[in-house]
A and B are shown apart, each in its own frame.
Chain A
């Protein structure tokens, strides 16, 4: 039995790797994508272009603007002197935001009247707009704190001492890069498995395979194992780059991480072979892979937290293997979570994998055309 499986595996590897173009496709893009996306996928803003419209002559406005100009997050691109100049700057995206201080800004502040600081921000990407406003708010808060102290004002006071665990400088990259490991591993595994049966169906060799003494179980194994080997290799290379190039801390142990990877590959390959055995043509296989890949990436918590989604959509995410692997990757990398605390993430992937692989094996026999 094993000889037959090994023979099928060899044939699969040859099918995947014999063509130089398809070898390149499996090795080059994941590494390039990791490097590019690792730098690109961040919510942290820097060099935000802003313009200033200051009608105030006082010292307070100068102090506040100085704080803004010194911040590495912001980059001053223009000084505005008339209302009419504001719209073209924002419309053409030359400035993301404009700070407007009215003529009475410093006088109000000195006389104990609240001084409004108008901030106009381009909301075409409202997430970026809100992040930029948060940065400005924290600069204003710092200014207000210093002002309260320097004027000797009395009011109930509290200092927030904020510490962030697991990611002390709140760097997006620490969160995104382990996520990319899961993302690229999924893409590569789907590429290897989702077209494999469909291709043989289209070429007619699958019928030949079915009349050999191989049982469906053995065919599933022979088709799945190359996916496992390639998936393990890819994930390992990507994780090495994440740790050595991006300097993402890997606090947990490798046994936990690779248990997660094994179960994730099991479920991803299961889905891939399922799609492949339902598809009649390669185009359908590709379409199926896409229809699975795109939502599973979107609904994995990779870019937007699952907790923010509506309840119904949250329930849908429970059938998505990538959802569980994302938690495992991030917890093992950043928090060093022990094996036992991740059991709740392990078993759903195992279940998804076993169900899909069994279905795929069943479909091999029963879907003849």
Chain B
């Protein structure tokens, strides 16, 4: 205590730094308030996008329209049709001729055809078994495979019921019992919403800063700043700090929506979530800053921001498409996407908890990226007139 009181007052230069920074930050906040689009980016966008995604995006197909072709109705076909009717996965329509079913499929009224031939009732008890022809509308491969799995499952369950009815004992077969950790009720929102926060914050961070420095160059105010005693580091910090505060506000909104509105469980600790989010926001802002320093005009800066943020974060972050299944060269590219690390961190903190073996390496990667973007921004931003 006594030591600090005895030490010399800070040199006037340090004071000047604080004053200049204060001025720059105040100026930036005034600008933000005057053109409310920054505030809209920070608060309106996460709200609107999370709402849309949270409610609009689902990979779980239900009530798939299926054309059931029954050539010769009998007790077996009726009970199988009943199984399809009862399933929440299907909304079947029964036809008596194959040609009608094909017409339905061509007119987008059916996504699959299940064809029971006239000898179905007899063949089902023969040793060869009854063939069931299934035709899938396969354009959408993922949905096609899902539907095929549902049909297979429905038929297997029905066969087992039939065997029981006929008094045959159920054979010993392998019975798969899946346990889905971290998301036992398989709510796709539980993983989509944390992933979406990463995608949205990439957008917002880059959008917030990408236009601002470019705007100063374009309007000539950068030259006005250049003749003042402010250093480049101060100018950049003066840009970064207000938008960081704005971005953290948006982040808080997004995380609160995930927790309260979409009821995504938060199994890890809140402080870790805040710390890693702040780090990620620095990366996103740094990326935007670098874009605007290199582009120097708002038009190009805006275009680059659109191109390098949303789509790469959407497709290459592992938020929806599995990174491990991508070809090796593409996997290498995903390492350049900051959202990739943040998606892994968010999904783990929300659903699994503070698992250090996931969080430490991903946080390190984010740290390296933050240092890189901010460092390169500082180097590229020279006080020069050209």
Residues of B within 8 A of A (CB): 35, 37-38, 40-41, 45, 48-49, 52-53, 55-62, 64, 105-107, 124-146, 148-149, 151-153, 155-156, 159, 162-163, 166, 168-184, 186-188, 190-191, 203, 207, 211, 215, 295, 297-300, 302-308, 310-312, 314-316, 318, 320-322, 324-327, 329-330, 333-334, 344, 347-348, 351-352, 355, 357-358
B130 close to A158 (CB less than 8 A): yes
Q: Which partner residue on chain A sits nearest B59 by CB separation?
A: A127
B299 close to A22 (CB less than 8 A): yes
A119 close to B215 (CB less than 8 A): no
Bound: A360/B151 CA distance, A: 50
B62 close to A308 (CB less than 8 A): yes
A295 close to B52 (CB less than 8 A): yes
| A18 shortest CB reach to chain B, Å | 11
Residues of A within 8 A of B (CB): 19, 21-22, 25-26, 29, 33, 36-37, 39-49, 64, 88, 90-93, 96, 108-131, 133-134, 136-138, 140-141, 143-144, 147-148, 151, 153-168, 170-172, 174-175, 183, 187, 190-191, 195, 199, 281-287, 289-291, 293-295, 297-299, 303-305, 307-310, 312-313, 316, 330-331, 334-335, 341
11 contacts between A and B (CB under 8 A): A19-B299, A22-B303, A46-B325, A48-B325, A92-B355, A123-B183, A163-B133, A191-B306, A286-B305, A294-B49, A303-B320
A157 close to B176 (CB less than 8 A): no
A283 close to B35 (CB less than 8 A): yes
Given the interface pairs A39-B330, A40-B326, A119-B178, the reply to whether A158 lies near B132 with Cβ below 8 Å is yes
Which one of A26, A116, A190, A298 lies within 8 Å of B175 (CB-CB)? Answer: A116
Which one of B179, B297, B322, B326 lies within 8 Å of A19 (CB-CB)? Answer: B297
Report the 4 A-B pairs with minimum CB-CB distance, sorted nearest first. Answer: A157-B129, A164-B138, A123-B183, A167-B138
Which one of B139, B163, B190 lies within 8 Å of A126 (CB-CB)? Answer: B190
**B residues near A175, Cβ cutoff 8 Å:** 139-142
Q: Which partner residue on chain B sits nearest A172 by CB separation?
A: B141
A114 close to B57 (CB less than 8 A): no
**B residues near A136, Cβ cutoff 8 Å:** 176
Bound: A44/B300 CA distance, A: 36
Bound: A126/B135 CA distance, A: 27
Bound: A125/B180 CA distance, A: 10
B310 close to A199 (CB less than 8 A): no
B37 close to A283 (CB less than 8 A): yes
B305 close to A109 (CB less than 8 A): no
B172 close to A113 (CB less than 8 A): yes
Q: Which partner residue on chain A sits nearest B214 by CB separation?
A: A282
A309 close to B132 (CB less than 8 A): no
Which one of B126, B128, B152, B322 lies within 8 Å of A125 (CB-CB)? Answer: B322
Bound: A42/B145 CA distance, A: 13
B134 close to A161 (CB less than 8 A): yes
**A residues near B137, Cβ cutoff 8 Å:** 164-166
Q: Which partner residue on chain A sits nearest B102 by CB separation?
A: A165
Bound: A26/B58 CA distance, A: 32
B168 close to A36 (CB less than 8 A): no
Which of B48, B326, B334 has the most CB atoms of chain A within a 10 A radius of its CB? B326
**A residues near B318, Cβ cutoff 8 Å:** 125
A88 close to B171 (CB less than 8 A): no
Bound: A48/B316 CA distance, A: 18
Which one of A114, A137, A308 lies within 8 Å of B60 (CB-CB)? Answer: A308
A140 close to B176 (CB less than 8 A): yes
